[in-house]
Amino acid sequence: MHLLWFKRDLRLTDHAALFHAAKQGTAVLPVYIVEPDYWQQPDVSLRHWAFVAEALTSLQQQLTTLGQPLLVYYGAATRVLRELCARFPISAVYSHQESGNLWSYQRDLAVARLLSELALPWHQYPQFAVIRKLPNRDLWFAEADNWLSQRLYPTPQSLPFICASNWQAPLTAPKRNRDLPTCQQRQHGWQLQHTLQSFLEQRSQQYHGGISFAARAVKSCSRLSPFLAYGQLSIRELQQQTERQRKQSTSAQQQRGLQAFYSRLRWHCHFIQKLEDEPEVEVRNMHRGFDGLREDAFEPGLFQAWASGQTGYPLIDAAMRSLLSTGWLHFRGRAMLVAFASYHLWLHWRPLALHLAQCFVDYEPGIHYPQIQMQAGTTGINPNRMYNPVKQSMQKDPKGEFIRQWLPELRRVPDSWLHQPWLMSTTLQQQFGCVIGRDYPAPVVAASQAVTAARARLSRWLAQHRQAFELEKRQVFQRHASRNRPKAQRARKTSTQLGLFD
């Protein structure tokens, strides 16, 4: 029999490992391993587990229908796999290729050593258009496009029964020493079909032009990111469905929305490829010329104000409080949070990345770390984006709908003062029930002065390290930068190309 190890691929449709494991009627033992050490890592949280547990419940129901239910084990993957191979006549192990965090990378190396010791082949198949041991980026787009356009793998009609499931409902939550507050308004692992259908058929009409506005983004965005992150939805299936729906639609507005979504979706695998090529960017600067730029200037008080939504800048704080409560935020909000912390507060990106990773229910390491570094300005190949928090607030939430939803202390403040409430006189603060420093914090920094200081610091740093910086920049570009596509494909690129697909 073949052992099918589910990791971040919790589905049956377009599942290469399942298809090949079950080929020619071979018995398949489907296994999921809850690894305690993983759940102690600083970039995971129990809101991730809550979503995964729901996705596993859905997967269990589907596998039971096929004939062989899922088996769930707790413990180190090497120990569990060794015990299973001793108990069952396993002839091979099948799984997807995981481009996860450094912990999962080291775990997979340990599993590879174990299976080599046991003389068992381990067949791994791509989950995304990510190429393992890619020599360079020159032909990546062509190879990725070819993979994404291939026919979907069929789902087996049945699986031979091997043994009854050891399933315990509800699944036991892993233990963590510390964790975020409960995320009661998060998306759920059983919402895939409704979310997918509502977006492709209805909400996609509002996608173009709606995804950057804080109050509208919650419905305008696809909201499919957590289902892709945990593999409930195949990226290839989603891309092909999106293109079919666009061609079938009779609405010009919906066609435009789906075209914009398709364009962003194509960059999903581009970012994951970066982490696959260089797993160390999870913990160190992509461009080593920035080593030492911010590390020694980290101020815990500023970090805590940012992480709790207490900076005194309404849109920044509303974005963080929304994220803490729902586990999701639109891309502009994510970029703004990182840029504000990196430039205005001059905080190193690594603690920011860990906090946000724990917050995001849709945490995908391959997108997360390259994007964090891009917004923090440590890639060396992307422009520095120093968003003005007041200007962004006025432009992206002009009527204050989003701000008032997440900052109840500002609900009575009129629009004319909402984006800069610290400018109100003492009399107006008392009149509107929002005394700065008591009901809502004063700004932790002066935005204009802080960004001026950040630019000066960057200029001095680049001047001191210019020669080595340019050499490193060329190396980063060669390894990670996108290349031009063939002319027939360039029309799909938009100004949002470097954003998250959602």
Q: Hey, which residues does 480 pair with through a beta bridge?
A: none
The answer to whether 146 touches 140, Cβ cutoff 8 Å, is no
Question: CA nearest 445: which of 364, 358, 347, 365?
Answer: 347
The answer to whether 363 touches 226, Cβ cutoff 8 Å, is no
- pLDDT interval class at 500 (50, 70, 90): very low
Mean pLDDT of the region 273-302 = 94
pLDDT tens digits for 358-374? 999 999 999 999 999 99
Q: Is the pLDDT of residue 104 over 90?
A: yes
Higher pLDDT, 498 or 89: 89
Mean pLDDT of the region 473-480 = 90
pLDDT tens digits for 372-391? 999 999 999 998 999 999 99
Q: Is 369 helix (H, G, I), strand (E, B) or coil?
A: helix
- pLDDT interval class at 114 (50, 70, 90): very high
DSSP 382: S
Q: Residue 168 corresponds to which tokens in the numbers above?
A: 């315990």
pLDDT tens digits for 224-277? 999 999 999 999 999 999 999 999 999 999 999 999 999 888 889 999 999 999
> How much is the mean pLDDT over the chain?
93
Higher pLDDT, 136 or 270: 270
Tell me the C-alpha distance between 298 and 349, whole Å.
10
Query: Which residues 6+ apart lie within 8 Å of 360 measured at CB?
Result: 323, 327, 328, 329, 368
Per-residue pLDDT at 85 = 97
Please compute, for residue 494, the number of CA atoms within 13 A of its CA located in the half-sphere on the CB side: 19
Mean pLDDT of the region 425-444 = 98
Tell me the C-alpha distance between 63 and 109, whole Å.
28
Question: CA nearest 380: which of 474, 268, 453?
Answer: 474
Per-residue pLDDT at 333 = 97
Q: Residue 54 corresponds to which tokens in the numbers above?
A: 């729901």
pLDDT tens digits for 394-415? 999 999 999 999 999 999 999 9
Place of tokens 């690594």: 350
Per-residue pLDDT at 476 = 92
pLDDT tens digits for 13-60? 999 999 999 998 899 999 999 999 999 999 999 999 999 999 999 999
Per-residue pLDDT at 170 = 84
pLDDT tens digits for 298-333? 899 999 999 999 999 999 999 999 999 999 999 999
Higher pLDDT, 466 or 33: 33
What is the side-by-side order of every strand in the sheet holding 122-126? 71-74, 28-34, 2-6, 92-97, 122-126
What residues are designated binding site?
A: 207, 261
Query: Which residues 6+ apart lie within 8 Å of 47 measured at CB?
Result: 180, 182, 183, 186, 327, 358, 359, 361
DSSP 10: -
What residues are designated binding site for FAD?
A: 207, 261
Mean pLDDT of the region 344-361 = 98
Helices 77-87 + 102-117 axis angle, to 10: 30
Share of the chain above pLDDT 90, in %: 86
Q: Is the pLDDT of residue 497 over 60?
A: no
Per-residue pLDDT at 494 = 35
pLDDT tens digits for 182-225? 898 999 999 999 999 999 999 999 999 899 999 999 999 999 99
